[in-house]
Amino acid sequence: MSDNPTRQSPPPSRADILRREILDKVAEYYQVAHQGEVFVPGETFIHYGGRVYDERELQSAVDAILEFWLTDGPRVAAFSEALEALLGLKHILTVNSGSSANLIAMTTLCSRQLERPLQPGDEVITPAATFPTTVAPIVQNRLIPVFVDCMLGTYNLNVALLEAALSEKTRAIFVPHILGNPVEMDAVMAFAQAHDLYVIEDTCDALGSQYDGRYCGTFGHLTTFSFYPAHHITTGEGGAVGINDPHLYRIAHSVRDWGRDCWCDHTSPREGECRQRFDWEIPGLEEPYDHRYYYTEIGYNLKMTEVQASIGLPQVDKLPALVAARQHNFQVLYAGLKPYEEYLVLPAWHIKADPAWFAFTLAVREQAPFTRHDLNDFLQQHKVETRYLFAGNILNQPAYRHIAHRIATPLTETDRVLKSAFFIGVYPGIDDAQLKYMLYVFDTFFRERGLA
């Protein structure tokens, strides 16, 4: 017997060797096929958002394909854990989109398993300047959205109007951090506590944004994230619900997974982690029933897949750098557009907010001698992508004109958003040369009209 206790690792298998070769080739492929688009001012389109990735995301996705687990598996678990650690949330429930996350969050609060579930006809306070799938789950759960006005500049719900929106039926606040700009969550939570309301934070646009030194998404009872490519990190399609409370987590998990009560993972023993898998009573049946087919919620199947999570994993590591790039781009645009404040409302944020900006939002002032359309048309013609601020006023959208709702206070600012707001990109795919060109296009627009 040798004196040296060092054990030699077994030689790599043929499969391991092939896998390594494939992943090396993928890195090479990335360099050849995904790199090297040279920015040509006036010719290259400057998108407002998009995937930001390198060979690691490609390798990770191919690796997941080689393993071919496909459905929710170890990579999904690792991705959830990485986000839990980052945000300091107890549970991250991964899903297939931010819209699904919103649906699950709202549906969870309507569960019969809660002591005081939200009931049809109960009211949920939310801003009218919003993304449609923040309002859709309120309507889908037969609840009544109560719309409050926003503030031009921050584009967030005006917390000073919460009191006016309150009624005996108010049970929850669904609050989006619009375009990465943190809402005053201390005020929202104090109001919610005073009136025993649930709070859902729609953090789909605001992963990495902070308010008062805390991540957005860590204040409310439930929070939602989107990993669509324009967002801070991407999994292609994808999203998550963040939850601290274990009971709410169990319900949300069930709503995501067909409504079934069983929470065991794929690798759990035959009798389940609870050791009671075949021990469930169903009325009208003398024998016990299988927990895997025991439904305590009216649910969906909204799960994330391994390939999605495999792309998300390297993205989580990159989040600080991605946020820093967004903040840098925002600052450059802010400084460059400051001279046009007479005509454009520049973004505003709360003193306690540290936004991980989703985009750079502007509103054309009423007295400006040009319209939003004029400016957007000019920008688009010069290859700078613009977008309007989501639904503007959701009540003006065809699908939402006829929904049961209540308007708490006049939606004056929201209507200004509808008429005059738009955004341009700050995502990390925009570099300094592109920022310079974007500002040059603005300068040209103003110069041509004798306004600069």
Ligand X SMILES: Cc1ncc(COP(=O)(O)O)c(C=O)c1O
Among residues 91, 221, 231, 405, the one annotated as catalytic is 231
Per rule CB under 6 A, is residue 361 in the interface with ligand X? Answer: no
Per rule CB under 6 A, is residue 201 in the interface with ligand X? Answer: no
CA dihedral 82, 85, 90, 95 (to 10 degrees): -30
> Please, what is the minimum distance in Å from the beta carbon of residue 150 to ligand X?
13
Per rule CB under 6 A, is residue 182 in the interface with ligand X? Answer: no
Q: What is the DSSP string of 156-198?
A: SB-GGGHHHH--TTEEEEEEE-GGG----HHHHHHHHHHTT-E
**Is 405 one of the catalytic residues?**
no
When the beta carbons of 234 and 254 are compared against ligand X, the nearer one is 234
> Please, what is the minimum distance in Å from the beta carbon of residue 129 to ligand X?
11
> Please, what is the minimum distance in Å from the beta carbon of residue 243 to ligand X?
17
Buried b (16+ CB within 10 A) or exposed e, 134-165: bbbbbbebebbbbbbbbbbbbbbbbbebbeeb
Per rule CB under 6 A, is residue 202 in the interface with ligand X? Answer: yes
d(C-alpha 33, C-alpha 54), whole Å:
11
When the beta carbons of 177 and 291 are compared against ligand X, the nearer one is 177
Binding mask of the shown chain, residues 217 to 236, with x at each position contacting ligand X by CB under 6 A:
---------x-x--------
**Sign of the dihedral through C-alpha 118, 121, 123, 127:** positive
> Please, what is the minimum distance in Å from the beta carbon of residue 285 to ligand X?
39
Per rule CB under 6 A, is residue 154 in the interface with ligand X? Answer: no
Q: What is the DSSP-derived secondary structure letter of residue 50?
A: -
Q: Which of the residues 68 through 127 are near ligand X (CB under 6 A)? A: 97-99, 102
Beta strands in 177-325 (DSSP E): 198-202, 210-211, 214-215, 222-226, 239-243
When the beta carbons of 58 and 135 are compared against ligand X, the nearer one is 135
Per rule CB under 6 A, is residue 55 in the interface with ligand X? Answer: no
When the beta carbons of 99 and 154 are compared against ligand X, the nearer one is 99
When the beta carbons of 131 and 446 are compared against ligand X, the nearer one is 131
Per rule CB under 6 A, is residue 131 in the interface with ligand X? Answer: yes
> Please, what is the minimum distance in Å from the beta carbon of residue 99 to ligand X?
3
CB 125 within 8 A of CB 392: no
**Residue 410: which residues within 8 A CB-CB, separation 6 or more?**
149
CB 184 within 8 A of CB 163: no
When the beta carbons of 60 and 224 are compared against ligand X, the nearer one is 224
Tokens (6 digits) for 220 = 């409310």
Residue of 63, 100, 98, 65 whose CA lies nearest to 314: 63
Tokens (6 digits) for 283 = 């009325």
Stretch that binds ligand X, among 32-40, 199-207, 250-258, 300-308 (CB under 6 A): 199-207
Chain residues in the site for ligand X (CB under 6 A): 97-99, 102, 131, 133-134, 176, 202, 204-205, 226, 228, 239
Residues annotated as catalytic are 231
